[in-house]
């Protein structure tokens, strides 16, 4: 099991994230960490891996564990700014213990 952090940098005129595409497994967790005090939310476009289509800032900064695998496009929203990264959730390697 691995813990992942997606760094969210909200600037005056753009949002940047690192990594832009995260690949994780069903036994991992992830949280979004802002590098500034500007709040943001996470909105999944169609299906979501965490049981909520929208994660408000207070939820996004907490560890989230995926419930299903797949490729998930989402939007980071802060005011009028938006950015569209991706999360890929895969099965854990054979022999992994959660």
pLDDT category of residue 98 using cuts at 50, 70 and 90: low
Output the CA angle 20-52-25, nearest 5 degrees: 50
pLDDT in tens, 7-61: 999 999 999 999 999 999 999 999 999 999 999 999 998 888 999 999 999 999 9
Kindly tell me the burial class for residue 58, based on how many C-beta atoms sit within 10 Å of its own C-beta (0-12, 13-18, 19 or more): exposed
The CATH number of the domain covering residues in 3-90: 2.60.40.420
Cα–Cα distance for residue pair 6/21, rounded to 1 Å: 9
Q: What is the pLDDT of residue 24?
A: 97
Q: What is the pLDDT of residue 96?
A: 52
pLDDT in tens, 48-75: 899 999 999 999 999 999 999 999 999 9
pLDDT category of residue 95 using cuts at 50, 70 and 90: low
């Amino acid at each position: 099991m691995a813990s992942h952090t997606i760094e969210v940098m909200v600037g005056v005129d753009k949002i940047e994230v690192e990594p832009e595409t995260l690949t994780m497994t069903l036994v991992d967790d992830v949280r979004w960490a802002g590098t500034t005090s500007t709040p943001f939310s996470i909105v999944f476009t169609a299906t979501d891996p965490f049981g909520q289509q929208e994660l408000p800032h207070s939820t996004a900064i907490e560890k989230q564990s995926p419930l299903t695998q797949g490729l998930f496009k989402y939007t980071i929203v802060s005011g009028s700014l938006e950015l569209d990264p991706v999360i890929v959730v895969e099965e854990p390697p054979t022999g992994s213990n959660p």
